[in-house]
């Protein structure tokens, strides 16, 4: 039987060199590109039966130029980069990678939160510069030190990641509120389901874990920010467009928000004119919450399971 042709369009973020593509190469004639410009997609994939993409879009125009294409594997959970309806109409299977990064993303939420409330790097830099050596006292603080126990965290969206964040918050002794479509009977006793209005009004920390839809785009805008407590903290490890970046930057700069932590922005890589980049007490990681070694190993394993199932005629994790 003739081997299928597999093309990976943007493999570098998944595998910058610490993983192996060998198992994928056993499944077909495999070509891996670190990065692919949109203009090069059709040329690189013209003979492909299977295309794997993380962030390179595959729309109608690309599919029209790829008559052999039968399978698109998205190397992420979100799959909005693929026109799934166009793929379905052409008999092209589209799959994603669900629930591989839950623990890693939840961990990043608290990495940002702990950075804000304890400022360990700020103090480390100060000590390295000799300020502790010159200090008249045995202890000094460059920022307010805040205990999380007893504070209220509001979680928008209770999927796998939201539930994991809630569990960690409970372990810190935080009161946990959530905006969720789940019935209260489905929730553990430490999570209280509330309205948006209550969540915004009572939360010391608001963290976003809902999908990006027309209803949730710019969910955190001027109106929501006005409802939030003075000095609240905002964390976004979900999707960049969940927030109105100008409105959040204004709330940081005028002191209504104490601080905010972002792993995602509306435009990535970050645009130089993004108002958040110059905002007061805004902290960033470059979309790496998903990218722990352990999560990437899981991603690679699920990718291989998806492709093996497709080749065996039993599709799993199909999204179209």
Task: Say which of 175, 258, 287, 298 is annotated catalytic.
Answer: 287
Q: What is the pLDDT of residue 89?
A: 97
Same domain, 154 and 40: no
Which of 253, 258, 287 minimizes the C-alpha distance to 117? 258
What is the side-by-side order of every strand in the sheet holding 71-74? 28-32, 4-8, 50-53, 71-74, 93-95
Task: Report the pLDDT value the prediction gives residue 294, as an integer from 0 to 100.
Answer: 98
Looking at the structure, do residues 218 and 151 belong to the same domain, yes or no? yes
**Residue 319, in any domain of the structure:** no
Looking at residue 283, what is its pLDDT? 98
Overall average pLDDT of the 237-253 stretch: 97
In a domain, 248, yes or no: yes
Q: Is the pLDDT of residue 28 over 80?
A: yes
Q: Is residue 317 part of a domain?
A: no
Question: Mean pLDDT over residues 51-59, rounded?
Answer: 97
- Mark whether 204 and 299 lie in a shared domain: no
User: Is 23's pLDDT higher than 80?
Assistant: yes
Both 96 and 114 in one domain: the answer is no
- Are 175 and 265 in the same domain? yes
Domain co-membership, 132 together with 216: yes
Number of domains in the chain: 2
Contact criterion met (CB below 8 Å) for 257 and 233: yes
Residue range 112-136: average pLDDT? 98
pLDDT tens figures, 258-298: 999 999 999 999 999 999 999 999 999 999 999 999 999 99
Are 176 and 252 members of one domain?
A: yes
Q: Is residue 263, in this structure, part of any structural domain at all?
A: yes
Look over the chain and give the mean of its residue pLDDT values, rounded to a whole number: 97
- 198-240 confidence digits (pLDDT tens): 999 999 999 999 999 999 999 999 999 999 999 999 999 999 9
Query: Which listed residue (26, 131, 197, 268) is catalytic?
Result: 268
The answer to whether 87 and 68 are in contact (CB under 8 A) is: no
320 within a domain of the structure (yes/no): no
Contacts of 43 (CB under 8 A, 6+ apart): none
Is 239 a residue of the active site? Answer: yes
Identify whether residues 54 and 135 lie together within a single domain. no
Residue 318 has pLDDT above 60, yes or no: yes
Residues 87 and 188 in one domain: no
User: Is the residue at 316 inside a domain?
Assistant: no
Instruction: Please indicate, yes or no, whether residues 268 and 304 belong to a single structural domain of this protein.
Output: no
Query: Is 30 within a domain?
Result: yes
The CATH code of the domain that includes 132 is 3.40.50.720
Q: Is the pLDDT of residue 1 over 60?
A: no
**Catalytic annotation present for 268:** yes
- The upper half-sphere exposure of residue 114, i.e. CA atoms within 13 Å in the direction of its Cβ, equals 11
- For residue 158, name the pLDDT band (cuts at 50, 70, 90): very high
What is the extent of the structural domain holding 252? 102-284
Residues paired with residue 53 on neighbouring β-strands, in sequence order: 74
> Does any domain span residue 318?
no
287 is catalytic: yes
Q: Residue 284: in which H helix or E strand, if any? A: strand 282-284
**Is residue 82 classed as helix, strand or coil in its secondary structure?**
strand
* Shared domain check, 266 and 184: yes
Q: Are residues 78 and 113 in the same domain?
A: no
Pick the catalytic residue from 239, 258, 296, 298. Answer: 239
Which pLDDT band holds residue 184 (cuts at 50, 70, 90)? confident
């Amino acid at each position: 039987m003739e081997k299928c042709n597999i093309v990976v369009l943007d493999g570098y973020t998944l595998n910058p060199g610490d993983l192996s593509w060998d198992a994928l190469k056993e499944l077909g004639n495999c070509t891996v590109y670190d990065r692919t410009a949109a203009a090069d997609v059709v040329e690189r994939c013209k003979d492909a039966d299977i295309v794997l993409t993380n962030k390179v879009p595959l729309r109608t125009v690309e599919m029209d130029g790829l008559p052999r294409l039968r399978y698109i594997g998205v190397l992420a959970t979100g799959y909005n980069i693929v026109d799934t309806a166009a793929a379905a109409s052409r008999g092209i299977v589209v799959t994603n990678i669900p629930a591989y990064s839950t623990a890693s993303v939840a961990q990043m939420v608290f990495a940002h939160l702990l950075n804000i409330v304890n400022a360990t790097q700020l103090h480390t830099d100060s000590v390295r510069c000799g300020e502790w050596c010159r200090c008249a006292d045995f202890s000094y603080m460059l920022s307010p030190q805040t205990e999380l126990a007893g504070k209220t965290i509001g979680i928008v969206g209770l999927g796998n990641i939201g539930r994991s964040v809630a569990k960690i918050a409970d372990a810190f002794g935080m009161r946990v509120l959530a905006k969720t479509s789940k019935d209260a009977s489905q929730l553990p006793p430490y999570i209280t389901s509330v309205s948006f209005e209550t969540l915004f009004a009572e939360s010391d920390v608001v963290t976003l874990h809902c999908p990006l839809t027309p209803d949730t785009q710019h969910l955190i805008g001027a109106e929501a920010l006005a409802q939030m407590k003075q000095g609240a903290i905002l964390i976004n490890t979900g999707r960049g467009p969940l927030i109105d970046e100008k409105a959040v930057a204004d709330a940081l700069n005028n002191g209504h928000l104490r601080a905010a932590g972002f792993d995602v922005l509306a435009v990535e890589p970050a645009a130089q004119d993004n108002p958040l980049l110059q905002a007061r007490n805004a902290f960033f990681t470059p979309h790496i919450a998903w990218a722990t070694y352990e999560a990437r190993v899981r991603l690679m394993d699920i990718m291989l399971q998806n492709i093996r199932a497709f080749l065996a005629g039993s599709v799993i994790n199909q999204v179209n």
